[in-house]
Amino acid sequence: MKKKRFLLSTVLMLVLSLVLAACGANNDEGNGAEDSGDSGAEKPKFISIVTGGTGGTYYPLGGSFASIISDATGIETNAETSGASAENMTTLKAGDAEIAFSQTDIASYAKDGKLMFEGNAVDNVQAIGTLYPETIQIVTTAKSGITSVEDLKGKKVSVGAPGSGTAANAEQILEVHGLSFDDIEKQDLSFDESTAGIQDGTIDAAFVTAGTPTGAVEALSATEEIVIVPIAAEKIAELLEAYPYYVEDEVPAGTYGLTDKVATVAVQAMLVVKSDLSEEVVYDVTKAIFENLDKVTHAKGKLISAENAVNGVGIDIHPGAQKYYDEKGIKAE
């Protein structure tokens, strides 16, 4: 009898040991998932993309990207209007959005704490990638009589919304022509406000840094004979020497009803992201955008590609975006 009880106790202890071992194994597996880097990171329910004004290129593109990200990742994504590049970098620093459009020059200023970011560097932002050239367009009308940058002296000129990157471009272009903001009646207006001001005669010209064709300028061309003020070749060379992030560009003939192409310069539009977003999420976002470009309805969608996204970035690329480029064998030229 005692022998039977001993055998029963032994069997029960063996079974209990097996159960505890199994539970321990399950707990180890669970802990491994939680600690396995980004695979255990919490996926955000919502992502906000800050863009620019409704009359520019950032806002409609941002709307397309938001739809693509929502559909491909299941993360609800929304595009919001803003004062564009400089304001967007500050917004990401404050944690009030996750992704932003920016000019490459402005993102570089922000990371380095230069110009408008002096004493207020943005250290929590990395790149997803560059998108397309941001053409600097000096917009006026035939009736203004303005045909050169020098003609802007003494005129009422919009240099872009407060917090935008357009003002820096305007200041640098005026600089190489021997002018400054003191030589113009500076106005700080959004693209829509600028073109409305040109139309009603309250301003004479406006700097617009955006992909062409730009919606606000297209709308103006429906009622006015548009002039895009050219930048002379020697001044372009001088600008590129002083500020290497510029590239030569042109506004093609036919744009806004122009008879001939117009020589100018450009920076690049880029997407930046908060660096604390997980590698997994940024990888998914990057893949979603570059593998669904056929769903982008704006004309600039044709200029965007993953192959060009790593060129001219100017700041560090987020590891999640880099993982996507590495998988595709994409390297900077």
* pTM of the predicted protein model: 0.71
Give the distance, in angstroms, between the CA of residue 236 and the centroid of all CA atoms in the same chain: 25
Delineate the domains of the chain, giving CATH numbers in brackets. Answer: 43-131+270-328 (3.40.190.10), 134-267 (3.40.190.10)
d(CA 158, CA 197) in angstroms, rounded, equals 9
How does pLDDT run across 146-182, given as a tens digit for each residue?
999 999 999 999 999 776 778 889 999 999 999 999 9
Q: Given this model, what pLDDT does residue 210 score?
A: 86
| Helices 279-290, 319-328: inter-axial angle, 10-degree rounding | 50
pLDDT at 11 over 80: no
> Which position has the higher pLDDT, 113 or 33?
113
Q: How confident is the model at residue 3 (pLDDT cuts 50, 70, 90)?
A: very low
Q: Which residues on neighbouring strands pair with residue 46, listed in sequence order? A: 76
How does pLDDT run across 27-52, given as a tens digit for each residue?
443 333 333 344 446 789 999 999 99
Query: Can you tell me which residue has the tokens 């372009």?
Result: 236
Q: Given this model, what pLDDT does residue 163 score?
A: 62
Q: Closest Cα to residue 209, out of 239, 251, 241?
A: 251
Mean pLDDT, rounded, for 307-326: 94
Do residues 203 and 157 make contact, with C-beta atoms less than 8 angstroms apart? yes
Poorest-pLDDT segment among 135-149, 155-169, 304-318: 155-169
Poorest-pLDDT segment among 21-35, 57-71, 179-193: 21-35
The two tokens of residue 321 are 């975006």
Q: Given this model, what pLDDT does residue 159 score?
A: 97
Q: Given this model, what pLDDT does residue 21 score?
A: 46
